[in-house]
């Protein structure tokens, strides 16, 4: 059975509430990529600090008393957990880039409006626009 109504709209995209231009998508991609590079540099920096702490611990631990050793171990643990949280953020940004390619990134989960580029650059894992986020927090 033919459905005349369908032929009229066939091939046409459903009317979206809001659209994002290709230029805007590019802007988000650039912002996310910059963020990822920043985080990677931060991660490398942290890793070299860990290596340094490790080396210090091995080379001049002979004269250390227990308190020194404890401090160094704590410092190293803090650096490692920092490195892990940076790595986590890198993963978030990379997932965001993948979702951006699929067209499913940067839209508010609540109202469906596009989340501003600046907000996405600052919080790549943001899933709500500022207005909805504020409503959420007020509850
Ligand atoms: Zn919203």
CA 129 to ligand 1 center in whole angstroms? 4
Q: How far is the CA of 32 from the centre of ligand 1 (A)?
A: 20
Does the pLDDT of residue 133 top 70, yes or no? yes
pTM of the model: 0.71
Does the pLDDT at position 16 exceed 80?
Answer: no
Average pLDDT over residues 111-119: 90
- For 82, the token pair is 């920092």
Q: How far apart are CA 112 and CA 129, in angstroms?
A: 9
Distances (CA, A) of 99 to 8, 46, 116, 127: 31, 28, 16, 12
Q: Which of 9-23, 69-83, 90-104 has the lowest mean pLDDT?
A: 9-23
Q: What is the dihedral of CA 104, 111, 20, 10, to 10 degrees?
A: 80
List the structure tokens of 98.
Answer: 């993948």
3-state secondary structure of 110: coil
CA 70 to centroid of ligand 1, rounded, Å: 48
């Amino acid at each position: 059975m033919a459905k005349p109504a369908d032929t009229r709209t066939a091939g046409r995209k459903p009317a979206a509430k809001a659209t994002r231009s290709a230029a805007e998508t590019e802007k988000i991609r650039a912002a996310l990529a910059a963020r990822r590079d920043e985080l990677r540099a931060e991660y490398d920096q942290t890793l070299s600090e860990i290596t340094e702490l490790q080396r210090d611990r091995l080379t001049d631990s002979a004269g250390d008393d227990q308190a020194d050793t404890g401090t160094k171990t704590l410092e190293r643990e803090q650096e490692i957990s920092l490195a892990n949280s940076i790595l986590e953020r890198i993963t978030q940004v990379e997932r965001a880039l993948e979702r951006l390619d699929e067209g499913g990134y940067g839209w508010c989960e609540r109202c469906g409006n596009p989340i501003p580029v600046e907000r996405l650059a600052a919080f790549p894992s943001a899933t709500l626009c500022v207005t909805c986020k504020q409503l959420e927090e007020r509850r």
